[in-house]
Structure 1
Amino acid sequence: MTVVNVAVAVIKVADRVLIAKRSKQQHQGGLWEFPGGKIESGEALADAIQRECFEELDIWPTKIAPLTVIEHEYTDKSVRLEVCLVSDYLGVPVGKEGQPLEWSPVGSLNNYDFPQANKAILKLL
């Protein structure tokens, strides 16, 4: 099975984390997620985080730190999530793809339905 390399941005300000709801048409549609997307061939992780945040949220991360790497196998695909903590950025987040956004307190993240691969991220926060 081919592995999809994904850059994931945990955007945290004070005790709140920005999450987005996946559209019904996407893999794992209707679930909440941390922003991010596929890493392009030859692309550095920090560059992928910046590009994905700009494409999805209209923000430009300025403080990015690696957090963890998670490998997960779904029935239809394997993913390798390269997760970074974004603690500062330029701009104001908006759902440029029409996705709902929420600033959730860290302690409330377990109240949202996330893809299985994201559950390990929740344990780190």
Structure 2
Amino acid sequence: MTIEIVHVAVGVIKKNNAIFICKRADEQHQGGLWEFPGGKVEAGESVFVALKRELIEEVGLTIHSSSQLMVIEHDYGDKCVKLDVHVVSNFSGEAHGAEGQPSEWVAITELENYDFPEANAEIIEKIVARYA
């Protein structure tokens, strides 16, 4: 049996020394944990187009550009993900939980105090190393 790899565009939304994060709904995979907003890359879509679509839907931001931070593949046992992680600092709008989810701006040095899915540990390490 082949396990499908879910390709996800992830936005590390950065403003000054803070990153915007959202809390996953309890019923979602990895529910109740904090995450960097984003979502599934649809067939035929570029990562940037997917990220642009997802960030408008999830957090009400229009992104103008992004730069790739890293790509991570992670196997949760019940699901495999390929996280295409981009830093977004060129955007317009006010970030908020557009789907009613809890969300907040967090100082980069405080990210390690939040519970994220396992695959996000590397992302946080890289953000802290690069920007803190």
Q: Which residue of 1 aligns with 2:130?
A: none
Q: Which residue of 1 aligns with 2:55?
A: 53
Residue 16 in 1 paired to residue 9 in 2?
no
**Correspondent of 1:94 among 73, 93, 96:** 96
User: Which aligned runs of 4 or more in structure 1 are off by greater than 6 angstroms?
Assistant: none
Unaligned runs of 5+ in 2: 128-132
Asked if the contact 2:14/2:87 (under 8 Å) is kept, the reply is: yes
**TM, length-normalised to structure 1:** 0.98
CA distance in 1, matches of 2:90, 2:15: 8
The 3-state SS of whatever aligns with 2:119 is helix
CA distance in 1, matches of 2:100, 2:27: 13
Q: Which residue of 2 aligns with 1:25?
A: 27
**TM, length-normalised to structure 2:** 0.93
Unaligned runs of 5+ in 1: none
Structural RMSD (CA): 0.6
CA distance in 2, matches of 1:120, 1:93: 24
How many equivalent residue pairs? 125
Deviation at 1:89, TM superposition (A): 0.6
Deviation at 1:63, TM superposition (A): 2.5
CA distance in 1, matches of 2:60, 2:108: 23
